[in-house]
Amino acid sequence: MHSTASDGRCSPSEVVAAVAREGLTGFALTDHDTGAGLAEARVAAAAAGLDLLPGVEISTTVAGSSVHLLGYGDITAHPALAPVLAATVGSRHTRVERLVERLAVDLPELTYRGVLARVPPGTTPGRPHVADELAAIGAVPNRDAAFAHYLAEGGPYYVGYESPETAEAVRLVLAAGGVPVLAHPASRSGAEVLDDDTIGELAELGLAGLEVDHRDHGPTARSRLRGLAAELGLLVTGSSDFHGEGRASGVGTDTTPPDTVEEIRSRLVPVA
Ligand code: AMP
Ligand code: ZN
């Protein structure tokens, strides 16, 4: 799940409240390239009696295409990982500024200041923040329309950003004592670059699992990924990839079985 520490709409405490309302036993908070929401989530989860699995969703690339890697564990401050995440967040800031410059040519009411007001210090900026500002100036009705009309990867306004290769990020998550799991491997640009051989190579490097159950995956993708996970000895996870109330992805639309969560937890290496 995502919070206002990156591109989610709910604060970490509000995420906890949403999880409790849904009657789930726990959740993972995996904001993009930051662990800034974890401290608040930990306090709120403890108060609500919920099991919090900490983590981070790391921006990475395969052959230049965006691939998201989940790193489970409280790993974002580890010296192997922290500078890499900081560099990505820095590059994401520059990227949003350039993206706004391009959009403002056709949409002069869109300003970088307006977008930046949606990204408090310490927050990872992303296209969803630009989407919300596009909606606020009346250019689109909502986030989904903003992505469809203005923000799609490969579209005329799109700007990328620097991030590590997925294989390197797998190594860094392991070095930090975490558990690396490919997020939604058959969704969007990941679908184009994460073929069976590439996933096999990541498994050899120590990739631990595949997020099979995700709203972007249809039955065919899920059965392919489930088969591949069985073949490669990888864990199978699922999530709502929650970004906030009101979006299509409700809390708990896809879940990870408790024994898989425990298996992930058992593989975490406590950092001294
Ligand atoms: P970024 O990390 O800035 O490249 O933006 C990618 C994020 O935008 C993803 O984590 C998704 O949560 C979100 N996203 C991608 N495509 C869409 C879409 N079509 N509608 C709404 N949100 C999207
Ligand atoms: Zn993702």
* CA 81 – CA 75 distance, rounded (Å): 7
b/e sequence 174-198, b meaning 16+ C-beta within 10 Å: bebbbbbbbbbbbbebbbebbeeeb
Question: To test ligand 1's pocket by mutation, which of 1, 147, 253 has the most ligand atoms within 8 angstroms of CB?
Answer: 147
Q: Which atom of ligand 1 is nearest to the CA of 241?
A: 12
pLDDT tens-digit profile, the chain (272 residues): 999 999 999 999 999 999 999 999 999 999 999 999 999 999 999 999 999 999 999 999 999 999 999 999 999 999 999 999 999 999 999 999 999 999 999 999 999 999 999 999 999 999 999 999 999 999 999 999 999 999 998 899 999 999 999 999 999 999 999 999 999 999 988 899 999 999 999 999 999 999 999 999 999 999 999 999 999 999 999 999 999 966 555 899 999 999 999 999 999 998 65
How far, in Å, is the centroid of ligand 1 from the Cα of 188?
A: 10
Question: To test ligand 1's pocket by mutation, which of 4, 6, 7, 133 has the most ligand atoms within 8 angstroms of CB?
Answer: 7
pTM of the full predicted structure? 0.96
Residue ranges lining ligand 1, Cβ < 6 Å: 7, 32, 126-128, 143-144, 147, 243
How far, in Å, is the centroid of ligand 1 from the Cα of 271?
A: 32
DSSP string for 140-152: SSSHHHHIIIII-
Instruction: List residues, by chain if needed, whose CB lies under 5 Å from ion ligand 2.
Output: 68, 183
> Which residue type occupies 264?
I
* CA 147 – CA 77 distance, rounded (Å): 32
Half-sphere exposure of 104 (CA within 13 A, CB side): 16
How far, in Å, is the centroid of ligand 1 from the Cα of 59?
A: 12
How far, in Å, is the centroid of ligand 2 from the Cα of 151?
A: 15
